[in-house]
Amino acid sequence: MADTPRSFQEIILRLQAYWAKHGCAIMQPYDLEVGAGTFHPATTLRSLGNVPWAAAYVQPSRRPTDGRYGENPNRLQHYYQYQVLIKPSPPNLQDLYLGSLRAIGVDMDLHDIRFVEDDWESPTLGAWGLGWEVWCDGMEVSQFTYFQQVGGHDCYPVSGELTYGLERLAMYVLGVDHVMDMPYNDPDAPIPLSYGDVFKQAEQEYSRFNFDIADTGILLKHFEDAEKECAAILSHDHIDPKTGHKIVMAQPAYDQAIKASHLFNLLDARGVISVTERQAYIGRVRTLSKLCADAFVQTAAGGAT
Amino acid sequence: MPDLLIELFSEEIPARMQAKAAADLKKLITDGLIDSGLTYAGAGAFSTPRRLALSVEGLAAESPDTSEERKGPKVGAPDGAIEGFCRGAGVSRDSLEARDTGKGEVYFAVIEKPGRKAADVITEVLEATIKNFPWPKSMRWGMGTLKWVRPLHSIICILSDEAGAQVVPVSVEGITSSDTTRGHRFMAPDVFSVTSFVNYEAKLKRAKVILRADERSDLIWSEASNQAFAAGLELVEDKGLLAEVAGLVEWPVPLMGTIADDFLSLPPEVLTASMREHQKFFSVRDKSGQVVRFVTVANRETADQGATILAGNQKVLFARLSDAKFFWENDLRIAKAGGQDWLDALKNVTFHNKLGTVAELVDRMAALSREIAPLVDADPDEAEAAARFAKADLSSEMVYEFPELQGLMGHYYAGHAGLSDAVANAAQDHYSPLGPSDDVPTAPVSVAVALAEKIDKLTGFWAIDEKPTGSKDPFALRRAALGVIRLVLENDLTLKLSTLIKGEDLLSFFHDRLKVFLKDEGISHDVIDASLAMPGNDDLLLLVNRAKALAAFLKTDDGGNLIQGFKRANNILSQAEDKDGVEYSYGADIKFAEDDTEKALFKALDAADANIAPAMAAEDFATAMSAMADLRAPIDAFFETVQINADSEVLRRNRLNLLHRIRTICLSVADLRKLEA
């Protein structure tokens, strides 16, 4: 079909164009290591409070335990998510979503698209929502969630969140069996690059590092530092003595929560966290997320007046 | 008599919630109609992934006028009281009637309530139903405050009769009722209007939506079976999956696909689990039982007859099964080396914070299995070996991925580890019985390990004081105790529980579970109490045999009457003992017997003694009880003719001692004092 995209990047570009056309602010990835697009402040923090919001962006995401040295056809420790957050969720969000699949070349007349119950919960963000995983011919291509609570706060208005696993979706649309074989740029470009050309070496390096090399002592120390720093940032008076303005530092504190979360993931990949400790670490990260959410709702962007 | 049609159209409702939601809709609406005095002839509720629907036929057009009388204060009561009464009853003071009640004049209010139109009642009932709907999980969306399972989009609410249909106005959260809905999301997305339930169902079908869940599942089942049959194969029955899939589609189109040859070496259970859990595929097997194909159920027809959909599903399955095969091959390497890596890994898996690791659990199970083995005719070495391997598969990659395959994978891996069939079977069966209808293992080694697993669990959680309370039983300890009970009874095991468990408390927990179990078998609680009060009540088989014999005995005429005779004897004796402050257990002497019936009773008791004692020693309760039944006539005759409280103190005491013999003999069989009349 003429409308079928030819490369990974074309799918990303089409999603960007589609959501831009439908009113989203196209944002750039957040500049910290995160486990999923949800962690981007444009989702987590902006879903709090009553200020309307619409954003879409690509977010590089890291899941150290999923590293397979670039060998597995669809498992990666570093991958891309495409994230859309609209608050309040518009009544036609399902139709908008289906339109985005059409935009990347999925022909609704030939495929079987299904919304299958899948409730979303993030224990480290203290967040949950109801929604579906979206299936295309039996394959999960997106997560569709109506946020009900974030950082322990009830969401009002409710945000609608869409998350696309880009590699998997693109492999499906492009008909590729191994992620490393997927064209990254146009196959007819002067220098055609595959996904493997771009990322295979990185997958190998990080797989080795994540599983065997990362210094657990340093990781632990950094985790504790981030935890301390997060609480310390938020303990400052809301009135900045220098400017005399109310400046709540929710976002700098949230950076520390993000760091703690990623450090926890790395520790987990190194296999040094026991089942019982695991819950305790998750609880510590959740505490930070909640503190940051509490702070954010006291800011203008968080709806404070 | 108009008919009512309601449809609540929303985004996709989770499959597992649809049937109950339809039933709840029907109950809430029809209850609300009845409460308002509106009768109806019949009602039916329906669900699809995107809609709940209710049809009420033959609804009364309006509720009848009602008149209620309310009694008020006395005539001449303070004004405040009378006015308060009027306010409460909603009537004016001059409409009150004064009536003589015989105790002075009293005001009565007559409250006339005119009937209401069905539409008015429906508006009220439907709005309340939507706002208070009992979804197991519900959510808000957009700017709204209404909670529904997923965003609610439109409401049909119409009353129709010969004259036509009329929309009943309903408004919830900015959604107002109409007579329109939509068809299939992709195949017929346009809005259309409906005039009645029959018209609604027919138009939905034209718009590629089958309203009835059972019609969808029948269609899936027959179409999928036909496709399998045409290929000389058989669809594997799976009712749970069928119900779920019927809740995922409005227009089911079963498509049969193939499984690549590479994966046919996998155990069929692994293929089925992988396809069922992740993909909601049905399995299709050949004559030998090997799963060779699958059926997926699409939600639409396509111009290419589902070719693209099937190709996509096959591709997803290929990736899934590649994972499963990878796990299987990795696991086989470890199994063939004896599985030691798995056993070592169990040292890092917590069973319970206070009960240590799974490796420690395995050690305890091994020791206990060895101890139980001789009691169940199992070889102790084999029982211990089986216990040691029973949990190995918990470390395997396959069970990590598909927890529901635990045990079954153990069975496969034990075989590859070169262990005996008995050990392999125990790895699979030692979790059983899991539910009341689950089969109970019978192979001795499996029985030993199954008992050890459950008894260790119970003693362990008892020791850390994590007993079930009320409806809370997070560790399924009731199920474990019932498992032990069924293992013992169905295998006819003579086993003294007190040698394996510690503490009266746990034993009485077993007894409570046994009561529940026997009640289901039709044995009443007093019969169980009468048996429980006897020595040896930690031997469940003995206990149950006694209770069953007693229950059977009580059903006979002799049994019922003997109990009356026993109770009479026991009451007279107990009263005398209380009064006299002694126990009449010196033994009665026949030489003081005056009456023939008294002498006959002596003889009958001697005979009963001679029969009952050996029967009891042999635990032959039926014989003992039939010997006891022989006492009925002599006891009845004795009470008929003999006065216990004779004038002669010697005669009286002798007779009381005779009653004591009745008591002793009867109580040697079961504690008949616990029986209710």
- pLDDT of the residue at B593: 84
Say which residue, B2 or B588, is predicted with more confidence.
B2
- 3-class secondary structure, B179: coil
Integer angstrom CA distances of residue B659 from A104, B584, B653: 96, 9, 10
Predicted confidence band of residue B104 (pLDDT cuts 50, 70, 90): confident
- pLDDT of the residue at B10: 98
- β-pairing, A127-136 vs A120-122, is antiparallel
The reply to whether B583 and B649 lie within a common domain is yes
A130 vs B: CB within 8 A: yes
Predicted confidence band of residue A275 (pLDDT cuts 50, 70, 90): low
Any domain includes B450 = yes
The reply to whether B46 and B88 lie within a common domain is no
- pLDDT of the residue at B194: 97
CA pair distance A264, A278, nearest whole angstrom: 9
Nearest chain A residue to B152 by CA distance is A91
Q: Which of B452, B448, B626 is nearest to B554 (CA)?
A: B626
Positions of E strands within A41-168: 53-62, 78-87, 113-117, 120-122, 127-136, 139-150, 153-154, 160-165
- pLDDT of the residue at B642: 86
Q: What is the mean pLDDT of residues B528-535?
A: 90
pLDDT of residue A2 exceeding 50, the answer is no
pLDDT of residue B347 exceeding 50, the answer is yes
Interface A–B counts its CB contacts (< 8 A) at 100
Q: Identify which of B14, B143, B303 has the shortest CB distance to residue A117.
A: B14
Q: Single out the residue in B143, B177, B206 at which a domain terminates.
A: B206
Q: What is the mean pLDDT of residues A11-25?
A: 98
Spell out the long-range contacts of B515-523 with Cβ–Cβ below 8 A and sequence spacing 24 or more: B516/B482, B517/B482, B517/B485, B517/B486, B518/B544, B518/B547, B520/B436, B522/B551, B523/B547, B523/B548, B523/B551
Hey, are the CB atoms on B151 and A146 less than 8 Å from each other? yes
Any domain includes B495 = yes
- 3-class secondary structure, A248: coil
CA pair distance B258, B311, nearest whole angstrom: 10
Q: Which residue has the tokens 């009694």?
A: B71
Q: For chain B, what percent of residues have pLDDT higher than 70?
A: 100
Q: Identify which of A88, A116, A177 has the shortest CB distance to residue B142.
A: A88
Contacts of B649 (CB under 8 A, 6+ apart): none
Q: Where are the alpha helices (DSSP H) in B256-306?
A: 268-274
CB atoms under 10 Å from CB of B320, counted, come to 21
CA pair distance A237, A246, nearest whole angstrom: 9
Exposure of A62 in the CB half-sphere (CA atoms within 13 A): 22
Any domain includes B543 = no
Q: Which residue has the tokens 């470009």?
A: A189
Cβ-contact A141, A115 below 8 angstroms: no
CA pair distance B562, B567, nearest whole angstrom: 8
CB atoms under 10 Å from CB of B512, counted, come to 12
Question: Tokens representing B379?
Answer: 């070889």
ipTM of the complex: 0.94
Question: Tokens representing B300?
Answer: 């639409």
pLDDT of residue B1 exceeding 90, the answer is no
Contacts of B84 (CB under 8 A, 6+ apart): none
Query: Please, which residues bridge with residue B296 across strands?
Result: B255
Any domain includes B539 = no
- pLDDT of the residue at A243: 96
Any domain includes B533 = no
The reply to whether B198 and B55 lie within a common domain is yes
A105 vs B: CB within 8 A: no
pLDDT of residue B451 exceeding 60, the answer is yes
Q: Is B10 exposed, middle or buried (0-12, 13-18, 19+ CB in 10 A)?
A: middle
Q: How does pLDDT run across A150-163, given as a tens digit for each residue?
A: 999 999 999 999 99
Q: How does pLDDT run across B472-481, given as a tens digit for each residue?
A: 888 899 999 9
Question: Tokens representing B108?
Answer: 């009565």
CB atoms under 10 Å from CB of B494, counted, come to 12
Hey, are the CB atoms on A158 and B153 less than 8 Å from each other? no
Q: How does pLDDT run across A226-248, given as a tens digit for each residue?
A: 999 999 999 999 999 999 999 99
pLDDT of residue B25 exceeding 70, the answer is yes
Q: Considering its fold, how many domains does chain B have in total?
A: 5
Mean pLDDT, chain B, rounded, equals 92
Q: How does pLDDT run across B607-630, given as a tens digit for each residue?
A: 998 999 899 888 899 899 888 888
Q: Is B68 exposed, middle or buried (0-12, 13-18, 19+ CB in 10 A)?
A: exposed
Mean pLDDT, chain A, rounded, equals 94
Q: Identify which of B186, B248, B281 has the shortest CB distance to residue A116.
A: B248
b/e sequence B28-57, b meaning 16+ C-beta within 10 Å: bbbebbeebbbebeebebbbbbbbbbbbbb
Q: Which of A129, A133, A154 is nearest to B137 (CA)?
A: A129
Any domain includes B471 = yes
Report cis status (omega within 30 of 0) of the bond before A157.
yes
Q: What is the mean pLDDT of residues B130-148?
A: 96
The reply to whether B563 and B670 lie within a common domain is yes
Q: Which domain holds residue B265?
A: 213-336
A1 vs B: CB within 8 A: no
Q: Single out the residue in B470, B505, B520 at which a domain terminates.
A: B520
- pLDDT of the residue at B101: 81
Query: Please, which residues bridge with residue B97 across strands?
Result: B108
Integer angstrom CA distances of residue A19 from A95, B114, B579: 13, 58, 96
Say which residue, B569 or A130, is predicted with more confidence.
A130
The reply to whether B284 and B411 lie within a common domain is no
CA pair distance A52, A54, nearest whole angstrom: 7
- pLDDT of the residue at A72: 84
Integer angstrom CA distances of residue B170 from A149, B124, B127, B397: 30, 8, 7, 55
Cβ-contact B32, B121 below 8 angstroms: yes
The reply to whether B106 and B156 lie within a common domain is no
Predicted confidence band of residue B644 (pLDDT cuts 50, 70, 90): confident
Chain B residues whose beta carbon lies within 8 Å of the beta carbon of residue A1: none
Best to test chain B binding among A115, A133, A171 (most B CBs inside 10 Å): A115
Say which residue, B593 or A39, is predicted with more confidence.
A39
Contacts of B312 (CB under 8 A, 6+ apart): A111, A112, A136, A137, A138, A139, A172
- pLDDT of the residue at B677: 66
Q: Which of B530, B571, B575, B570 is nearest to B553 (CA)?
A: B530
Say which residue, A253 or B557, is predicted with more confidence.
A253
**Range in A90-94, A213-217, B50-54, B591-595 the model is least confident about:** B591-595
Positions of E strands within B236-349: 253-258, 282-285, 291-298
Cβ-contact B136, B17 below 8 angstroms: yes
Q: How does pLDDT run across B240-296, given as a tens digit for each residue?
A: 999 999 999 999 999 999 999 989 889 998 999 889 988 999 999 999 989 999 999
- 3-class secondary structure, B195: coil
Chain A residues whose beta carbon lies within 8 Å of the beta carbon of residue B141: 88-89, 146, 158, 160
**Closest Cα of chain A to B301: distance in Å?**
8
Q: What is the mean pLDDT of residues B162-177?
A: 94
The reply to whether B468 and B616 lie within a common domain is no
Q: Identify which of A113, A136, A138 has the shortest CB distance to residue B279.
A: A138
Report cis status (omega within 30 of 0) of the bond before B252.
no
CATH number for position B489 = 1.10.3210
Exposure of A10 in the CB half-sphere (CA atoms within 13 A): 20
Q: Identify which of A115, A136, A155 has the shortest CB distance to residue B12.
A: A115
Hey, are the CB atoms on B312 and A136 less than 8 Å from each other? yes
The reply to whether B330 and B370 lie within a common domain is no
Chain A residues whose beta carbon lies within 8 Å of the beta carbon of residue B248: 114, 116
Q: What is the mean pLDDT of residues A174-196?
A: 96
Q: At what angle do helices B649-667 and B557-580 cross, to 10 degrees?
A: 130
- pLDDT of the residue at A1: 41
Any domain includes B290 = yes
Query: Please, which residues bridge with residue A160 across strands?
Result: A86, A146
Integer angstrom CA distances of residue A103 from A54, A97, A138, A236, B296: 19, 10, 20, 47, 27
Cβ-contact A118, A143 below 8 angstroms: yes
A111 vs B: CB within 8 A: yes
Hey, are the CB atoms on A138 and B312 less than 8 Å from each other? yes
CA pair distance B466, B473, nearest whole angstrom: 9
Hey, are the CB atoms on B141 and A158 less than 8 Å from each other? yes
The reply to whether B37 and B154 lie within a common domain is yes
Cβ-contact B300, B257 below 8 angstroms: no
Chain A residues whose beta carbon lies within 8 Å of the beta carbon of residue B315: 137, 139, 172, 177
Hey, are the CB atoms on A117 and B296 less than 8 Å from each other? no
Contacts of A243 (CB under 8 A, 6+ apart): none
Q: What is the mean pLDDT of residues B413-442?
A: 94
The reply to whether B651 and B562 lie within a common domain is yes
Rounded to 5°, the CA angle B366-B353-A284 comes to 150
CA pair distance B443, B422, nearest whole angstrom: 8
A280 vs B: CB within 8 A: no
The reply to whether B54 and B202 lie within a common domain is yes
Nearest chain B residue to A87 by CA distance is B142
Contacts of A198 (CB under 8 A, 6+ apart): A184
Any domain includes B525 = no
Tell me the longest C-alpha to C-alpha distance in chain B: 108
Question: Tokens representing B344?
Answer: 């070592």
The reply to whether B43 and B124 lie within a common domain is yes
Chain B residues whose beta carbon lies within 8 Å of the beta carbon of residue A108: 186
A160 vs B: CB within 8 A: yes
